[in-house]
Amino acid sequence: MEGESILNLSNLITDDFAHAVQLIYNSKGRVIITGIGKSAIIANKIVATLNSTGTPAIFMHAADAIHGDLGLILKDDVVICISKSGNTPEIKVLLPLIKSAKNKIIAITGNKASFLGQNANYILDAFVEKEACPNNLAPTTSTTAQLVIGDALAVCLLDLRGFSSNDFAKYHPGGALGKKLYLRVEDISSVNQKPKVNPDTSIKKVIVEISEKMLGVTAVVDNDKIIGIITDGDLRRMLSKVDDFSKLTAKDIMSSNPRRIDNSAMAIDALELMEANDISQLLVEENGIYAGVVHLHDLIKEGII
């Protein structure tokens, strides 16, 4: 029932939706979102979504508003009132006060003929045929419809503002989500050791270099340019094929033209490159010069995976 009601919302959209989006987009103030009961909880979520996508928003409980919190609303703010019936006592007291201050009102309501519908500048129709509650009482379908309309507003505003993933990262610096958006390869590789050998380095010294730097790999470089890579796996394969490796050098067992990534790339790009090629390490370059190693374990440690 909820799914069908959501699909039906597209049939209820009028020009008021576009006007509401433009009103918020052009406003010099904030978006104040108010409601009561379950609608207040939905209002809080919409506020959080708007704030995280570049539209400053504040929640104001409808009951608290008429007991002092009305001072939250400033001159240029746009007010969104959420109410299924549009006729709650708090809304009836609150709306005339908002209108007298000349703030614009956007209604999200399931009843366009209600007090809220009659007094709003724009109506976003959240009509639902019936609640999913078997008694048709508990707000279920109606609150889901309100939530979807709030998401639609946020996404339209995000698009109008040209809000990018970099902008998103500014508002989400914490946790794995934030790291996927701002953590770069150099942030990881710069704290790792930088194993490297020359093409003519003996296998013994190659083994020592890989062991000491503890990344399971070493770059093979010529004048600081990457020409190859040697991994733990390369050493194991060599030992299975050769009894005497005393005369072998790095260039004899290295893999040429290894996968590499620029140190300015995003860490999530390094992960995708590793997954695509089924490898655990990537050599890192800066302006074509060897700059270090990023390991799959580094990405796990940072919470990228």
Ranges of the chain with pLDDT below 70: 169-181
The tokens describing 101, both together, are: 């201050």
pLDDT at 242: 85
pLDDT at 177: 61
- Note whether 2-163 and 185-301 share their fold: no
Rounded CA separation 106/225 (Å): 61
Furthest CA-CA distance within the chain: 92
What is the four-CA torsion angle of 94, 95, 98, 103, rounded to 10 degrees?
150
Residue listed under structure tokens 């990405």: 299
pLDDT at 181: 66
Distance (Å) of CA 112 to CA 12, 145, 218:
11, 15, 69
pTM: 0.65
pLDDT at 93: 94
Q: Where are the chain's structural domains?
A: 2-163, 185-301
Fold of 2-163: Rossmann fold (3.40.50)
- Do residues 269 and 276 make contact, with C-beta atoms less than 8 angstroms apart? no
Picking from 111, 102, 52, 59, the residue whose alpha carbon sits closest to that of residue 80 is 59
Distance (Å) of CA 142 to CA 109, 150, 177, 201:
9, 13, 30, 71
At the second CATH level, the architecture of 185-301 is Roll (3.10)
Rounded CA separation 231/227 (Å): 14
The tokens describing 213, both together, are: 């730097």
